[in-house]
Protein backbone atom coordinates (compact mmCIF):
# COMPACT_ATOMS: atom_id res chain seq x y z
CA UNK A 1 0.00 0.00 0.00
CA UNK A 2 1.41 3.39 -0.98
CA UNK A 3 0.33 5.93 1.62
CA UNK A 4 1.72 8.85 -0.36
CA UNK A 5 4.46 9.72 2.11
CA UNK A 6 8.17 10.08 1.44
CA UNK A 7 9.14 7.32 3.92
CA UNK A 8 9.82 3.97 2.29
CA UNK A 9 7.30 1.22 2.99
CA UNK A 10 7.44 -2.33 1.67
CA UNK A 11 4.45 -4.65 1.69
CA UNK A 12 4.13 -7.22 4.43
CA UNK A 13 1.47 -9.03 6.38
CA UNK A 14 -0.85 -7.38 8.91
CA UNK A 15 0.87 -9.26 11.69
CA UNK A 16 -0.88 -12.60 11.19
CA UNK A 17 1.36 -15.51 10.28
CA UNK A 18 1.07 -16.56 6.70
CA UNK A 19 -0.92 -13.44 5.81
CA UNK A 20 -1.10 -11.64 2.51
CA UNK A 21 0.39 -8.20 1.89
CA UNK A 22 -1.23 -4.91 2.69
CA UNK A 23 0.57 -3.33 5.62
CA UNK A 24 4.16 -2.16 5.55
CA UNK A 25 7.55 -1.97 7.22
CA UNK A 26 8.66 1.35 8.60
CA UNK A 27 12.25 1.95 7.57
CA UNK A 28 12.86 5.39 9.01
CA UNK A 29 13.91 6.57 12.47
CA UNK A 30 11.45 7.36 15.20
CA UNK A 31 10.35 10.83 16.21
CA UNK A 32 9.61 9.77 19.77
CA UNK A 33 10.62 11.73 22.83
CA UNK A 34 14.34 11.92 23.50
CA UNK A 35 13.44 11.23 27.13
CA UNK A 36 12.50 7.69 26.14
CA UNK A 37 16.13 6.68 26.72
CA UNK A 38 15.75 3.67 24.47
CA UNK A 39 16.87 3.02 20.92
CA UNK A 40 14.08 1.23 19.06
CA UNK A 41 14.97 -0.94 16.11
CA UNK A 42 12.14 -0.79 13.63
CA UNK A 43 13.58 -2.87 10.82
CA UNK A 44 11.27 -5.81 11.53
CA UNK A 45 8.25 -3.96 12.89
CA UNK A 46 4.91 -4.10 11.12
CA UNK A 47 2.69 -1.17 10.20
CA UNK A 48 -1.03 -1.87 10.57
CA UNK A 49 -4.01 0.23 9.42
CA UNK A 50 -6.42 0.72 12.34
CA UNK A 51 -9.30 2.78 13.64
CA UNK A 52 -9.02 4.89 16.78
CA UNK A 53 -11.42 2.56 18.59
CA UNK A 54 -8.99 -0.30 18.01
CA UNK A 55 -6.22 1.80 19.59
CA UNK A 56 -8.39 2.61 22.60
CA UNK A 57 -9.39 -1.06 22.99
CA UNK A 58 -5.85 -2.43 22.55
CA UNK A 59 -4.87 -4.95 25.21
CA UNK A 60 -1.73 -4.77 27.35
CA UNK A 61 -1.12 -7.92 29.46
CA UNK A 62 1.28 -6.06 31.79
CA UNK A 63 2.76 -2.52 31.90
CA UNK A 64 5.95 -3.42 30.02
CA UNK A 65 4.23 -5.49 27.33
CA UNK A 66 3.54 -4.37 23.77
CA UNK A 67 -0.03 -3.31 23.08
CA UNK A 68 -2.02 -5.86 21.09
CA UNK A 69 -4.96 -5.54 18.71
CA UNK A 70 -6.97 -8.69 17.96
CA UNK A 71 -4.47 -10.58 20.11
CA UNK A 72 -1.59 -9.61 17.78
CA UNK A 73 1.21 -7.14 18.50
CA UNK A 74 0.79 -3.98 16.45
CA UNK A 75 4.09 -2.21 16.93
CA UNK A 76 3.25 0.63 14.56
CA UNK A 77 -0.12 1.84 13.34
CA UNK A 78 -1.54 4.25 10.79
CA UNK A 79 -4.96 5.87 10.85
CA UNK A 80 -6.91 8.74 9.32
CA UNK A 81 -8.95 11.26 11.27
CA UNK A 82 -10.04 14.86 11.73
CA UNK A 83 -7.96 17.17 13.90
CA UNK A 84 -10.20 18.48 16.68
CA UNK A 85 -7.63 20.35 18.72
CA UNK A 86 -3.98 21.44 18.46
CA UNK A 87 -1.91 22.20 21.57
CA UNK A 88 1.65 23.46 21.08
CA UNK A 89 4.21 23.01 23.85
CA UNK A 90 7.95 23.73 24.00
CA UNK A 91 8.92 20.13 23.26
CA UNK A 92 5.91 18.69 21.43
CA UNK A 93 2.67 19.36 19.62
CA UNK A 94 -0.38 17.41 20.79
CA UNK A 95 -3.17 16.82 18.28
CA UNK A 96 -6.58 15.44 19.23
CA UNK A 97 -7.84 13.19 16.41
CA UNK A 98 -11.38 11.94 15.78
CA UNK A 99 -12.24 9.33 13.13
CA UNK A 100 -15.87 8.66 14.06
CA UNK A 101 -15.00 5.60 16.15
CA UNK A 102 -13.32 7.52 18.98
CA UNK A 103 -10.81 10.23 19.84
CA UNK A 104 -7.12 9.91 20.71
CA UNK A 105 -4.20 12.25 21.38
CA UNK A 106 -1.23 12.18 19.02
CA UNK A 107 2.07 13.63 20.26
CA UNK A 108 4.63 14.88 17.78
CA UNK A 109 7.99 15.71 19.33
CA UNK A 110 9.74 18.84 18.10
CA UNK A 111 13.32 18.95 16.92
CA UNK A 112 14.43 22.57 17.45
CA UNK A 113 16.39 22.84 14.19
CA UNK A 114 13.77 21.02 12.14
CA UNK A 115 11.01 23.10 13.74
CA UNK A 116 12.64 26.37 12.69
CA UNK A 117 13.06 25.09 9.15
CA UNK A 118 9.39 24.06 8.95
CA UNK A 119 8.22 27.46 10.19
CA UNK A 120 10.03 29.13 7.29
CA UNK A 121 8.62 26.69 4.71
CA UNK A 122 5.23 28.09 3.70
CA UNK A 123 4.86 25.63 0.80
CA UNK A 124 3.95 22.70 3.05
CA UNK A 125 0.29 22.20 4.05
CA UNK A 126 -0.38 23.11 7.67
CA UNK A 127 -1.98 20.82 10.23
CA UNK A 128 -4.86 22.88 11.60
CA UNK A 129 -8.10 22.16 13.40
CA UNK A 130 -11.02 20.60 11.47
CA UNK A 131 -8.79 19.28 8.67
CA UNK A 132 -8.16 15.59 7.96
CA UNK A 133 -4.75 13.98 8.21
CA UNK A 134 -3.05 10.59 8.23
CA UNK A 135 -0.92 9.58 11.21
CA UNK A 136 1.92 7.07 11.40
CA UNK A 137 3.05 6.22 14.90
CA UNK A 138 3.45 3.88 17.83
CA UNK A 139 0.72 3.13 20.36
CA UNK A 140 1.51 4.19 23.91
CA UNK A 141 -0.19 3.54 27.25
CA UNK A 142 -0.01 5.55 30.46
CA UNK A 143 -2.08 3.96 33.21
CA UNK A 144 -5.38 3.31 31.40
CA UNK A 145 -4.99 6.10 28.85
CA UNK A 146 -3.87 5.55 25.27
CA UNK A 147 -2.05 7.94 22.98
CA UNK A 148 0.08 7.71 19.84
CA UNK A 149 3.68 8.85 19.55
CA UNK A 150 3.85 9.98 15.94
CA UNK A 151 6.57 9.36 13.39
CA UNK A 152 4.83 11.49 10.76
CA UNK A 153 1.54 13.29 10.13
CA UNK A 154 0.40 14.22 6.62
CA UNK A 155 -2.69 16.27 5.62
CA UNK A 156 -5.26 14.41 3.51
CA UNK A 157 -5.47 15.76 -0.04
CA UNK A 158 -8.14 13.36 -1.36
CA UNK A 159 -11.12 12.61 0.90
CA UNK A 160 -11.51 9.19 -0.74
CA UNK A 161 -8.50 8.20 1.36
CA UNK A 162 -10.68 8.38 4.48
CA UNK A 163 -13.11 5.71 3.27
CA UNK A 164 -10.35 3.64 1.68
CA UNK A 165 -8.49 3.56 4.98
CA UNK A 166 -11.55 2.37 6.91
CA UNK A 167 -11.98 -0.45 4.41
CA UNK A 168 -8.31 -1.38 4.67
CA UNK A 169 -8.51 -1.42 8.49
CA UNK A 170 -11.52 -3.72 8.18
CA UNK A 171 -9.65 -6.06 5.84
CA UNK A 172 -6.74 -6.23 8.28
CA UNK A 173 -9.09 -6.99 11.20
CA UNK A 174 -10.92 -9.73 9.30
CA UNK A 175 -7.68 -11.20 7.98
CA UNK A 176 -6.24 -11.59 11.47
CA UNK A 177 -9.41 -12.72 13.25
CA UNK A 178 -10.73 -15.09 10.57
CA UNK A 179 -7.74 -15.90 8.41
CA UNK A 180 -7.19 -15.13 4.71
CA UNK A 181 -9.88 -15.93 2.11
CA UNK A 182 -9.92 -19.50 0.85
CA UNK A 183 -8.63 -18.34 -2.55
CA UNK A 184 -5.56 -16.76 -0.89
CA UNK A 185 -4.52 -19.82 1.13
CA UNK A 186 -1.88 -22.22 -0.19
CA UNK A 187 -3.32 -25.58 -1.21
CA UNK A 188 -3.72 -27.81 1.82
CA UNK A 189 -2.98 -24.99 4.28
CA UNK A 190 -4.88 -24.83 7.56
CA UNK A 191 -5.58 -21.91 9.84
CA UNK A 192 -5.12 -21.81 13.59
CA UNK A 193 -7.77 -23.20 15.91
CA UNK A 194 -9.16 -19.86 17.10
CA UNK A 195 -9.72 -18.61 13.57
CA UNK A 196 -11.15 -21.96 12.47
CA UNK A 197 -13.61 -21.89 15.38
CA UNK A 198 -14.75 -18.38 14.46
CA UNK A 199 -15.21 -19.36 10.82
CA UNK A 200 -17.23 -22.40 11.85
CA UNK A 201 -19.48 -20.18 13.93
CA UNK A 202 -20.11 -17.78 11.06
CA UNK A 203 -20.76 -20.63 8.67
CA UNK A 204 -23.24 -22.23 11.06
CA UNK A 205 -26.10 -19.79 10.36
CA UNK A 206 -25.48 -18.11 7.03
CA UNK A 207 -22.31 -16.50 8.37
CA UNK A 208 -24.09 -15.03 11.42
CA UNK A 209 -23.97 -17.96 13.82
CA UNK A 210 -21.78 -16.31 16.46
CA UNK A 211 -24.02 -13.23 16.79
CA UNK A 212 -26.73 -12.53 19.34
CA UNK A 213 -30.34 -12.79 18.04
CA UNK A 214 -30.73 -9.00 17.90
CA UNK A 215 -27.48 -8.50 16.02
CA UNK A 216 -28.36 -11.31 13.61
CA UNK A 217 -31.74 -9.73 12.76
CA UNK A 218 -30.13 -6.32 12.23
CA UNK A 219 -27.45 -7.79 9.96
CA UNK A 220 -30.03 -9.68 7.90
CA UNK A 221 -32.04 -6.47 7.56
CA UNK A 222 -29.00 -4.53 6.33
CA UNK A 223 -28.15 -7.31 3.88
CA UNK A 224 -31.60 -7.66 2.37
CA UNK A 225 -33.34 -4.26 2.47
CA UNK A 226 -32.86 -2.09 -0.60
CA UNK A 227 -30.91 1.02 0.41
CA UNK A 228 -28.56 3.76 -0.79
CA UNK A 229 -24.82 3.82 -0.19
CA UNK A 230 -25.55 5.57 3.11
CA UNK A 231 -27.16 2.41 4.52
CA UNK A 232 -29.98 2.50 7.09
CA UNK A 233 -30.49 4.64 10.18
CA UNK A 234 -31.10 2.76 13.42
CA UNK A 235 -34.59 4.33 13.70
CA UNK A 236 -35.47 2.84 10.31
CA UNK A 237 -34.10 -0.55 11.39
CA UNK A 238 -36.05 -0.44 14.65
CA UNK A 239 -39.27 0.35 12.76
CA UNK A 240 -38.74 -2.38 10.17
CA UNK A 241 -37.91 -5.04 12.76
CA UNK A 242 -40.32 -3.83 15.46
CA UNK A 243 -37.41 -3.70 17.92
CA UNK A 244 -36.69 -1.37 20.83
CA UNK A 245 -34.09 1.30 20.12
CA UNK A 246 -31.96 0.04 23.02
CA UNK A 247 -31.83 -3.45 21.47
CA UNK A 248 -30.97 -2.00 18.06
CA UNK A 249 -28.15 0.01 19.66
CA UNK A 250 -26.71 -3.06 21.40
CA UNK A 251 -26.96 -5.15 18.26
CA UNK A 252 -25.33 -2.42 16.19
CA UNK A 253 -22.46 -2.09 18.66
CA UNK A 254 -21.90 -5.85 18.43
CA UNK A 255 -21.80 -5.76 14.62
CA UNK A 256 -19.44 -2.77 14.61
CA UNK A 257 -17.11 -4.56 17.02
CA UNK A 258 -17.13 -7.63 14.76
CA UNK A 259 -16.26 -5.51 11.71
CA UNK A 260 -19.43 -6.60 9.90
CA UNK A 261 -20.92 -3.10 9.47
CA UNK A 262 -19.56 0.44 9.39
CA UNK A 263 -20.94 3.89 10.12
CA UNK A 264 -21.65 6.23 7.19
CA UNK A 265 -23.15 9.72 7.48
CA UNK A 266 -23.32 9.57 11.29
CA UNK A 267 -22.77 7.16 14.19
CA UNK A 268 -26.32 5.81 13.95
CA UNK A 269 -26.45 5.10 10.21
CA UNK A 270 -24.94 1.75 9.21
CA UNK A 271 -24.08 -0.14 6.05
CA UNK A 272 -22.99 -3.79 5.79
CA UNK A 273 -19.45 -4.83 4.95
CA UNK A 274 -20.50 -8.43 4.40
CA UNK A 275 -23.20 -8.96 1.77
CATH number for the domain spanning 91: value is 2.40.50.140
**What is the number of domains present in the chain?**
2
Say if 2 falls within a structural domain.
no
Give the model confidence (pLDDT) of 239-252 as tens digits.
999 999 999 999 99
31 and 109 fall within a common domain: yes
User: Does position 182 have pLDDT exceeding 70, yes or no?
Assistant: no
Say if 13 falls within a structural domain.
no
- Helical (H) or strand (E) element with 164: helix 160-178
- Please compute, for residue 274, the number of CA atoms within 13 A of its CA located in the half-sphere on the CB side: 18
Q: Is residue 149 a contact partner of residue 137, using CB atoms and an 8 Å limit?
A: yes
Q: What is the pLDDT of residue 60?
A: 83
87 and 130 fall within a common domain: yes
Give the model confidence (pLDDT) of 127-170 as tens digits.
999 999 999 999 988 877 889 999 889 999 899 999 999 999 99
222 and 154 fall within a common domain: no
pTM score, whole prediction: 0.54
- DSSP labels, 87-106: EE-SSEEEEEEE-SS-EEEE
**Which CATH number goes with the domain that contains 208?**
1.10.10.10
Q: What is the pLDDT of residue 136?
A: 92
Domain range spanning residue 255?
174-272
C-alpha span between 185 and 111 (Å, rounded)? 45
Backbone angles phi, psi at 135, to 5 degrees: -115, 135
Say if 220 falls within a structural domain.
yes
Amino acid sequence: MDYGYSAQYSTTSYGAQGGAGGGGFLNQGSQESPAGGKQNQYGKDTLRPVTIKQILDAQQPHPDAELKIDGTEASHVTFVGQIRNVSTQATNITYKFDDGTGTVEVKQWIDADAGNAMEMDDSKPKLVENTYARVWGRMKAFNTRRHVGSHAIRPIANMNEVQCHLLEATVAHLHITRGPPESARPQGATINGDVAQRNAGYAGTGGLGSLSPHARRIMQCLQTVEQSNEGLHMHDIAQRLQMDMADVGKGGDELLAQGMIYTTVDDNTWAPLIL
